[in-house]
Structure 1
Amino acid sequence: MSAPATIWGSQYRGATLGFFGLAFMVAYSTAAITTAMPAAAAELNGLPLYGLAFGITMATSVVSMTLAALWIDRSGPQIPLLTGVCIYVAGMFLSAFAPTMELLVAARALTGLGSGLDGVALYVGIARVFPAHLRPKMFGALAAAWLLPSIVGPALSGLVTDHFGWRWVFATVPVLAIVAVALLLHGSRGSGMTGPHPPAKSPTAGPGLALSARLWWKPAWAVVASASVLLLGDASTRSQPWWPAQLVAAVILLAVAVNILLPKGTWRVARGLPSLILMRGLMGTGFTIADVYLPLFMIDQRGLPAWLAGLSLTVGGVTWAVGAWLAGRGTSRPSQLLRWGAAFMLLGMLVATLVLLPGWPVWIAWVGWAAAGFGIGMAYPTQSVVVLGESAPSEQGTNASALQLSETLLTATMLAVVGAVFAALLGLGEAGYVMAFGTACALGLVTLVVSRRAGAS
């Protein structure tokens, strides 16, 4: 009797290395850029645009995620993935040479378009290549791909930023992209990455998730949603006399667009996939807000160098990988992993917030972020496995897109609003940071509540 197949066996080893390499590139760029961005904002006198530099990447990826769902379900994930990598690399190069913060933000918008294509294509590629029983292991391996960049990425990025300048951080990412693409093309040959999958009916597909003719309208509504997020962020600064009308228009347009882009039942917290998709958005948004503003707080208020301020990202990345490894073992039910993950993330964020109090040491934030990373590490791969498992093969692009759209739309919206409020609170000591961390913890609490209805219906 032959040994059971594994992701590292001869049949799947090449594909595993390819997906691992792509995840490694994304992990390094995320950790490095988050650490280097405070220096970029300071040099370009762009601190008021600091939040927008992250939020616009989320906003533009909404458009490419929606297009990816159509493209992948009809032609397979390989070409959309390669296209996304090329766009991502172009955005990184433009960021490295940006002479002003406004142009850096524009380059970040291009990066978002590439990441949106890559994110959806990566998920569907795993579903096409690996059988269902190996997918948890593969998603666990993706989390492990975040481990080394999370350990050395922030510190290395901080050292490069301190000694050579932040521009070199952006310029190194394209090198990793070339290696990752080469590994992926070699490892996924003949594995179903190209060509559409024949339509099939999924007996467990959730309500409102099936591909329909209305999906062709979604790219247009994705553009509306992205524009509304940016309009909302600008209106929140109250820099123009017409900001009230601008705010109302942005909220109305965003509400309509999100209702079309996300599955029915998402905002009603319907049990099953709709709640799971909402949980992904809430969890990712809360974690990202804290993850963005924690290094900035350490530099701005505690006077730490960039390499040491990024240590929270390192600690969180390590425990994220540990949590994903535990989830991939398959010894716990998905519903348990989702609830435990939400609870650990909330606990960790509450502990990390203690660093805002006078007299508390900076290491308390790293302890808290270790718990938060462990929690999201358990929940994230579990969410992906459940969505792919309950999707018909011809609907995997649509449903993977919905999962990521939820996170991206909510994160982009909240980053724009939090960034605008943060800019308004500049000069008031730690008030802006209290607002940012308070928002993150509130989202973590709602995530814990929603987690009880997420998972299989």
Structure 2
Amino acid sequence: MINKREGIFSSRYRALTIGIILAVMAVAFEGLSVTTIAPVIAKNLQGMELYGWIFSAYLLAQILGTMIIGQQIDRSGPAFPFIFALFIFSIGLIIAAVTQSMLVLIIARALQGFGAGAILTCVYTSISLSYPDELRTKILAVFSSAYVLPALIGPYVAGIIAQYSSWRFVFWGIIPFIILAAFLSLPSFKGLKVKGVQNEGRRQTNLWAIQLTIGTGLLLSGLGMMPKFFGVILGIVGLILMIIPLRRFLPSGTFVACSGLPAMLASRGLFMACYTGTQSFLVLALTEVKGYASDTAGLIVASAALSWSTAAYIQARLDERDKGQGRRMRVLIGVFMMCVGIGVIVWVPIIGITLAVASQIIIGFGIGLAHPTSGAISFAQATEGTEGEVSASLQFVDSFTPGIVVGIGGALITISHTVGIAPYLGISAALGIQLILILISLLAAYQLPHIKK
């Protein structure tokens, strides 16, 4: 038990809490800004057919960052991996800022994704090692709230920059935040060690991560080439390569949402994917189909941030009041709200500013309830010595499922462009995928066990 007067900003935890906030904010600024400017980038670099890869390259590379750095954390602690992750992330920003090619931009996004995955894995591990269960929902709520300022101003500012100057300055502008995060947060990571972890299979795990990333990339590339025969073959090969690594990285029973950690990971992976996918394709619908400016689209996307942070704060207070007894119900309510929010915008022709904002507020509130609570549920089931493994699993599902789902949506848009149908039909199909998957996430959440008093 902790002292009742001790909180996440007490002297014992203050430095680490501030370090986490800075690190997460730096990653959030980049990710949320790109959501707004992606259509402008794709047009400028003449690569609209590769639109989905702007997101998928980033998210799939997080798999490598999560797995490789997760193994290194278990071996030596999070301090050095944290430095390395910030460096790779910064290199990706610089390349993206100067590139003249869509393919090079995608490579830069992959570097950013690797760095972001590694950064967040370090953060998750520090939470698991440093905070007791009674404070984890609070720090996880702050973790979620660290997206608030970037989410409120990042998309709008990025839209303004892209509309009136150049989208390249968005990437340049994030580098100072990385430098500040490194300077202020690194001391908090020193001395943290994971106890009792063996690393005999570290190299094999890294190879599985590489195979999974390659397989997923082939699958998504093949889907984008359909209905061509070569696309079908490429997709099948990619799917085969993916199967074994997925079974290695996820707890047994995740694919069928068995009660406990498997169900939590299945539900979380899907609702994170749907949140990311919905925002990505909503911005495209608003700018390319409805004709709204980038800054307007950015403001609409930002409306989800305030409701996310509000819900995260509420769930932390409720968790403190009921001692974690209501965590399952909060996840269920959150995912159900996301179902409602996504459902109202699936058909692109009916989307207007009012409906888009209402949808984002509902979706944001839903994930604000479900996201930090799902992390607390997962950490509560971690045994001593498996903190790094659980942290990596959380970050893995946060990266893999959004990457593949956004990639599938992007492939549908590419197919619609190839066969010459109206763009809004391809975007509507991409949003329809999000609705189907969020319903599956809700079913998986029902498999969570009831917490006994």
TM-score, normalised to structure 2's length? 0.93
Alignment partners' CA distance in 1, 2:127 and 2:192: 15
In structure 2, the residue matched to 1:139 is: 140
Alignment partners' CA distance in 2, 1:399 and 1:10: 27
- Measured at CA, do residues 312 and 455 of structure 1 come closer, stay the same or move farther in structure 2, by a change above 3 Å? farther
In structure 1, the residue matched to 2:340 is: 347
**Contact preservation (8 Å) 2:409, 2:427:** no
Alignment partners' CA distance in 1, 2:391 and 2:409: 27
Correspondence 1:252 to 2:245: no
Look up the SS of the partner of 1:112 in the other structure: helix
- Post-superposition CA distance 1:318-347 (Å, at most 9, x none): 111111111111135110111011111111
Identity %: 25
In the alignment of these two chains, the number of paired residues is: 440
Correspondence 1:219 to 2:206: yes
Correspondence 1:439 to 2:440: no
Unaligned runs of 5+ in 2: none
In structure 2, the residue matched to 1:72 is: 73
Correspondence 1:357 to 2:358: no
In structure 2, the residue matched to 1:370 is: 361
- What are the residue-to-residue correspondences of 1:178-257 with 2, within 5 Å? 178-186=179-187, 188=188, 193-199=190-196, 213-214=200-201, 216-238=203-225, 242-257=230-245
Alignment partners' CA distance in 1, 2:138 and 2:93: 31
Return the offset for 1:317. 1.0
**Contact preservation (8 Å) 2:77, 2:193:** yes
Return the offset for 1:135. 1.3
In structure 1, the residue matched to 2:378 is: 387
Return the offset for 1:214. 4.8
Alignment partners' CA distance in 2, 1:274 and 1:147: 29
In structure 2, the residue matched to 1:100 is: 101
CA RMSD for the aligned pairs? 1.9
**Contact preservation (8 Å) 1:75, 1:194:** no
In structure 2, the residue matched to 1:19 is: 20
- What are the residue-to-residue correspondences of 1:13-162 with 2, within 5 Å? 13-162=14-163
In structure 1, the residue matched to 2:448 is: 454
**Contact preservation (8 Å) 1:158, 1:306:** yes
- Measured at CA, do residues 455 and 218 of structure 1 come closer, stay the same or move farther in structure 2, by a change above 3 Å? farther
- Post-superposition CA distance 1:413-437 (Å, at most 9, x none): 2222221221111242211111011
In structure 2, the residue matched to 1:206 is: none
**Contact preservation (8 Å) 2:23, 2:119:** no
In structure 2, the residue matched to 1:203 is: none
**Contact preservation (8 Å) 1:78, 1:125:** no
Look up the SS of the partner of 1:454 in the other structure: coil
- What are the residue-to-residue correspondences of 1:419-430 with 2, within 5 Å? 419-426=410-417, 427-429=420-422, 430=424
Unaligned runs of 5+ in 1: 201-210
Alignment partners' CA distance in 2, 1:12 and 1:160: 37
Look up the SS of the partner of 2:385 in the other structure: helix
Alignment partners' CA distance in 2, 1:444 and 1:277: 14
Runs of 4+ with >4 A deviation: 211-216
Return the offset for 1:132. 2.0
Return the offset for 1:22. 1.1
Alignment partners' CA distance in 1, 2:244 and 2:48: 31
Amino acid paired to 1:236: L
Of 242-251 and 91-100, the range deviating more from structure 2 = 242-251
- Post-superposition CA distance 1:378-412 (Å, at most 9, x none): 11111111222221242111111112212322222
Return the offset for 1:241. 5.0
Amino acid paired to 1:378: L
Return the offset for 1:80. 1.2
Amino acid paired to 1:177: I
Correspondence 1:312 to 2:300: yes
Alignment partners' CA distance in 1, 2:53 and 2:414: 10
Alignment partners' CA distance in 1, 2:416 and 2:230: 21
Alignment partners' CA distance in 1, 2:332 and 2:224: 36
Alignment partners' CA distance in 2, 1:10 and 1:95: 39
**Contact preservation (8 Å) 1:196, 1:394:** no
In structure 1, the residue matched to 2:253 is: 265
Return the offset for 1:213. 4.9
Alignment partners' CA distance in 2, 1:357 and 1:245: 34
Alignment partners' CA distance in 2, 1:448 and 1:3: 35
**Contact preservation (8 Å) 1:32, 1:169:** yes
**Contact preservation (8 Å) 1:386, 1:456:** no
Alignment partners' CA distance in 1, 2:238 and 2:367: 30
1:287 aligns with one of 269, 272, 275: 275
- Post-superposition CA distance 1:132-165 (Å, at most 9, x none): 2111111111222111111111111111111111
Amino acid paired to 1:436: A
In structure 2, the residue matched to 1:417 is: 408
TM-score, normalised to structure 1's length? 0.92
Of 151-160 and 400-409, the range deviating more from structure 2 = 400-409
**Contact preservation (8 Å) 2:136, 2:376:** yes
Look up the SS of the partner of 1:357 in the other structure: helix
Return the offset for 1:217. 2.0
Alignment partners' CA distance in 2, 1:78 and 1:382: 26
**Contact preservation (8 Å) 1:143, 1:325:** no
Of 89-98 and 253-262, the range deviating more from structure 2 = 253-262
**Contact preservation (8 Å) 1:273, 1:455:** no
Look up the SS of the partner of 1:45 in the other structure: coil
- Measured at CA, do residues 3 and 353 of structure 1 come closer, stay the same or move farther in structure 2, by a change above 3 Å? same
